Amino acid sequence: MSAKNKPFVELGIKKFFDGDYVSSIHILVPQFESTLRRMFAAAGYATTSIKKSTAQHEETFNEFLNRDDIKEALGERIHKLIQMVMVDQMGINLRNKVAHGLIAFEQCTKGLNLLVIYLFLS
């Protein structure tokens, strides 16, 4: 894990153990995306793409996860789990709900936090 992510993840885990599931989910979800991107970047994978304007842009998390090289590196089981939990509109879509302020307070449960922590451990 990158030193840039570590203090945030530690704080998110602390909030989880303190029973502050709202804070925990709002810290851990974006840190999971960032940690995964940094892990792949450190391994030599591109995390950006060139758009129509020839400007370089960070790929959306969904675009990033849908790349064949990322799918292959993660393995089918983990890839499908990450996609279902984080970005699939037919799944939990947690990344987008948290990032856009669409998650309901009562959805920030211990169980959902445990699922995000499981993703970190996978």
Q: What is the pLDDT of residues 10-65, one digit of tens each?
A: 999 999 999 999 999 999 999 999 999 999 999 988 877 766 666 767 788 898 99
What predicted TM-score, i.e. pTM, was given to this entire model?
0.87
Q: Within 10 Å of residue 17's Cβ, how many Cβ atoms?
A: 8
Q: Provide the Cα torsion 76, 66, 21, 41; round to 10°.
A: 100
Strands 56-58 and 48-50: antiparallel
Q: Within 10 Å of residue 99's Cβ, how many Cβ atoms?
A: 14
Distance CA 14, CA 21 (A): 10
Segments of the chain assigned E as strands: 48-50, 56-58
Mean pLDDT of 102-120: 96
Question: Tokens standing for 50?
Answer: 């060139």
**Domain ranges, ordered by start, for the chain:** 6-121
